[in-house]
Amino acid sequence: MASEKKSKVQIKPLDDRVLVEQCEAEERTAGGIVLPDTAKEKPQRGVVRATGPGKLLESGERGKMSVKVGDEVFYGKYAGTEVEVGGQKMQIMRENDILAIIEK
């Protein structure tokens, strides 16, 4: 019997795009009420998992990215495109769709 190898999916965003792993949606409200799946809002917070090389400038050089892998960020509610990678929901978005880096 031949052994099967699990392939690890790797995504490398292009230009100034960023791959962000979404944080889990809130299970409870601030008052302690448990939210059903249909009432949960799409999270606007996540962790950067991959970045592209930067935007190609008119001079032919690449612009420097403001975020790096591992940064926790807030992004716009309707930013990017949702993709599923290895069973996890992720977003691919442009760097300018990221609103802030969360510093710890």
User: Does the pLDDT value for residue 3 go beyond 70?
Assistant: no
Q: Which carries the bigger pLDDT value, residue 35 or residue 56?
A: 56
Whether the per-residue pLDDT at 29 is higher than 60: the answer is no
pTM, two decimals, is 0.74
Q: Say if residue 47's pLDDT is above 70.
A: yes
Tokens 């409870």 found at = 28
Sign of CA dihedral 27, 32, 36, 40: negative
For the chain, what is the mean pLDDT? 80
Which of 7, 2, 11, 15 has its CA nearest to residue 94?
A: 15
User: SS3 breakdown of the chain: % helix, strand, coil, rounded to 5?
Assistant: 5, 35, 60
Strand partners, 51: 18
The residue-averaged pLDDT of 26-44 equals 61
Domains along the chain? 17-26+34-102 (2.30.33.40)
The answer, yes or no, to whether residue 94 has pLDDT greater than 90, is yes
- Quick one: how far is CA 42 from the chain centroid? 13
Confidence of residue 78 (pLDDT cuts 50, 70, 90): confident
Burial class (CB in 10 A: 0-12, 13-18, 19+), 66: middle
